[in-house]
Chains A and B, each alone.
Chain A
Amino acid sequence: MMSGVMTVADIAQPRREPGDRSHLGRAAIVLLAVLLLLAMTLSMTTGASGASAWSILKGWLGMAPASELDTLRDHAVIINIRLPRMILGVLIGAALAVSGLLMQGLFRNPLADPGLVGVSAGAGLGAVGVIVLGTTALAPLTAFLGIYSLQLASFFGGLATTFILYRVATRSGQTAIATMLLAGIALGALAGAVTGVLVYVATDAQLRDLTFWGLGSLAGANWMKVLASGPIIIAALGVSTLLAKGLNAMTLGEATAAHLGISVQRFKLVTIVTVAAATGASVAVSGGIGFVGIVVPHLLRMVIGPNHRYLLPATALLGASFLLFADAVSRLVVAPAEMPIGIITAALGGPFFLWILLRRRSAFAW
């Protein structure tokens, strides 16, 4: 290149410095974007009704041979059930995966995850509170907040849990992993106990709502939920893209991050609020869906490395695809019934988590 003669090899394969994995990061983002398109297509064409997104498309293009009635029914299924479900799957999958990644960066530990350390439980408590008390004690509040009350209650539940967790587990910038996990268990149990009390006093109709909500499922997806949670999740994901540089610097420790020009206190505050918003808005719609936040970032870190500039977008993309695939499986295995999606992510994520523990025991001390 320096000699002025550019060969084909130079263009096809620019010289890379050893240890530079940015090309892997870029390639992963492109591939994962394609994967997400496939997952979205799969999601739109999978379901109990047998309605085909293709027939709708054909209808719109004026080449529909199907009967008028079929088309109308399919249209309703696709537009009012599958499309919002697909959108929520994308948003919630990305939100859960990115929340995990942010918490791992904040706590400087690859095992942090909103589901594992009680943040989801705290968000869940907020949601259950609104479902059970929304018509009585909290009625003025829910009337005021309208469709956003569930989301905001989850948000504040998750926010409170994350703050408490951080205060308990972190001393002068150092997080003790054992303290963090144990504090998470305590907070999760506490949130669970209060949730239990609320369930105990709930009416029959509320119990029905709670059961549907708590299974961890995208089954109840509709446009109202997209409208309520979508903007919050999109905002959280948008903010997270600004955190990449800070996350990289934070891996060197808080003091060094400050020397590298990061305002550490502000970074931590923004990260905690973002995690709470993303987790809260997800939990409000789908209940507890575990392990996405731990499996997805970990898998990607092994392939493209921990540079958050690439890891963040890749995590959002893979998280979205992962949840759409899990959702498609949940609709297929016991069709025409549905299996809660939380069961599927847990069945995949549980063994994966154990595998990480076994692997890390030898590789790194934490």
Chain B
Amino acid sequence: MIEVHDLSVSVGGRAILHKVELSAPAGQLTAVIGPNGSGKSTLLKALCKDYRYDGHVRINGRDLAELSLTEAAAQRAVLPQSSTLPFPFTVREVVAIGITAGRAGPSGDALRRLPEQALAAVDLHGFGGRFYGELSGGEQQRVQLARVLCQVWMPVLEGVPRYLLLDEPVSSLDIRHQLMIMDVARRFADNGGGVIAVLHDLNLAAMYGDQVLALRDGEVVAAGRPDSVLSDAVIEHVFDCPLRVGVAPSTGAPFVLPQSIRRTAPVHTRVA
């Protein structure tokens, strides 16, 4: 369980997050949604110890501030928004950095095969020998996810659940790989780990989230099950634009349909 209580973060004297409450249990995928600048990434960065914060963050009952960086690295892995490398690493070498840093779990021969296994999980089977710098942006993002997976390969190690913190994990991926990566995160949670993912795609949040946290201007507007958070009133307020929520006929999960701003906007804002 990752528990956040009364969390406030200021960056450069400007308040970004204000008294955020969140509990993200192991075994669940928590989707964080909100418009640009609402504090989603800041929340994730505070959980990563990147920022100083006021309030309390506990991981598996222990205060985050008291965890050493090495201990933290063994309990949670963080997917950054983007990474460029200054040196010519092969894909396998990048993924293997995750193994040496964290505690993957497997050992011996299984550990040696782990990078290839992680690459297969993100649909990059056979990419181990390619150079990272020569891959497309979406492929690089999936390599980074494979590295992150290797850091905490077993969702539960020695009885302790571990966590994936994903900042826009599918932002530069095609639809097939968006679903595939969300499936990987879903499986991690189903196997006992915890996932907190910042998502822009509300439909992915609805489909994959066990709970959704909606942020606006650094404050929690709504939190709870997707069908309770994703209502017309809440998300129109959060995103400040016309949106309609329906129910997908096949799954019963909510889906979000944007309405054109131009058609509903007052006449004087239209382009003449």
Which A residues are within 8 Å of any B CB, using their own CB? 17-21, 104, 108-110, 245, 248-249, 251-253, 255-256, 258-263, 301-302, 305-307, 363-364, 366
Contacts and interface: CB of A to CB of B under 8 A. Distances in A.
Contact of A364 (B45, B115, B133): B133
Interface of B: 45, 48-50, 69-70, 72-74, 77-78, 80, 83, 85-94, 96-98, 100-102, 112-113, 115-116, 126-130, 133, 151
Give the 9 A-B CB pairs with smallest separation, nearest first. Answer: A19-B92, A261-B73, A260-B101, A18-B129, A19-B128, A306-B87, A19-B90, A18-B128, A19-B129
Given A109-B86, A258-B50, A262-B69, 4 more contacts: A18-B92, A19-B128, A20-B90, A259-B77
A66 B69 CA distance: 65
A17 B115 contact: yes
Contacts of B112: 17
A108 B86 contact: yes
A255 B48 CA distance: 9
Nearest to A244: B100
Contact of A261 (B50, B101, B126): B101
Given A110-B86, A307-B93, A364-B133, A18 B102 contact: no
A354 B80 CA distance: 34
A366 B93 contact: no
B266 to A, nearest CB: 41
B77 A252 contact: no
Contact of B73 (A18, A255, A260, A302): A260
A252 B92 CA distance: 14
A258 B72 CA distance: 10
Q: Is the interface of A mostly helix, strand, loop or mixed?
A: loop
B78 A261 contact: no
B93 A21 contact: yes
Contacts of B45: 255
Contacts of B50: 255, 258
Nearest to B72: A261
A249 B86 contact: no
Most buried by B among A260, A262, A306: A260
Contacts of B78: 256, 259
B86 A19 contact: no
Nearest to A108: B86
A75 to B, nearest CB: 48
Contacts of B113: 17
Contacts of B72: 259, 261
A17 B100 contact: no
Most buried by A among B101, B116, B129: B101
A301 B69 CA distance: 29
A251 B85 contact: yes
B153 to A, nearest CB: 14
Contacts of B49: 258
Nearest to B49: A258
Contact of A251 (B77, B86, B98, B127): B86
Contacts of A263: 69
A301 B70 CA distance: 28
29 contacts: A17-B113, A17-B116, A18-B116, A18-B128, A18-B129, A21-B93, A108-B86, A110-B86, A245-B100, A245-B101, A248-B97, A251-B86, A252-B97, A253-B80, A255-B50, A256-B80, A256-B83, A258-B48, A258-B50, A259-B72, A259-B77, A260-B97, A261-B102, A262-B69, A306-B93, A307-B89, A307-B93, A363-B133, A366-B86
A251 B133 CA distance: 13
Contacts of B94: 252
A303 B72 CA distance: 35
B7 to A, nearest CB: 19
A261 B70 contact: yes
A63 B67 CA distance: 67
B144 to A, nearest CB: 8
A245 B100 CA distance: 8
B109 to A, nearest CB: 9
